[in-house]
Amino acid sequence: MNLRFPGDRPDADDLSDSALRVLAERAGALLLAAGCRVATAESCTGGWVAKCLTDIPGSSQWFERGYVTYSNLAKEQSLGVAASVIETFGAVSRPAAEQMASGALHASGADLAVAITGIAGPDGGGPDKPVGLVWFALAQRSAPPVVLERQFAGDREAIRRAAVATALRLVIAAATGAPPATGVTAAGGARL
């Protein structure tokens, strides 16, 4: 199915509100066409992905719910992220992102869930996990999970905007059944 919107191919570097809206509109139209519902599990984006999606009229037809799990305890209590995962790998890690997405999928009953956890700065980073590091995970009932690691540059606002755009693009890829963007791997580590 080829759904088009005016300007629906925003420049990859365009992270403006209007570009994020175009991505959210596209995600919503594709989810509706596929008969799928989405859930979000957000940490560093603080609900921004859910906000973009629910800004679209009619989103109640394809948006199930959003979880803002900023603290480690919230990740554990709301999404079932294992305390041992956070202790061993940290909240900003592949295993934490995977468990956030699978927890949101399970708890919500949605068809797919996208999770975001990262370090937006200006502090909180370190040598192994610098400011701008963001992990994404997409869990689906009908496909294996995918995980993506990105290192974004810029200030807190720029990092968060880039993370929101990336999460929306993951939802678009899942809703179209298209292979996700380069750098996305299945849970077992195989490159997709």
> CB 6: neighbour CB atoms within 10 A?
6
Task: State pTM to two decimals.
Answer: 0.89
pLDDT value at position 187? 46
The SS3 of residue 122 is coil
Give the closest residue to 123 by CA, choosing from 115, 131, 113: 131
The SS3 of residue 14 is coil
pLDDT value at position 142? 83
DSSP code at position 191: B
- Annotation: CATH topology of 17-186: Maf protein (3.90.950)
pLDDT value at position 7? 41
Domain coordinates of the chain in residue numbers? 17-186
In terms of phi and psi (left: phi > 0; alpha: psi -120 to 50; beta: otherwise), the region of 106 is: alpha
Give the closest residue to 167 by CA, choosing from 54, 23, 19, 4: 23
pLDDT value at position 12? 62
pLDDT value at position 13? 79
pLDDT tens-digit profile, the chain (192 residues): 333 333 444 456 789 999 999 999 999 999 999 999 999 999 999 999 999 999 999 999 999 999 999 999 999 999 999 999 999 999 999 999 999 999 999 999 999 999 999 999 999 999 999 999 999 999 999 888 999 999 999 999 999 999 999 999 999 999 998 766 544 444 444 333
For residues 102 and 108, is the Cβ–Cβ distance under 8 A? no
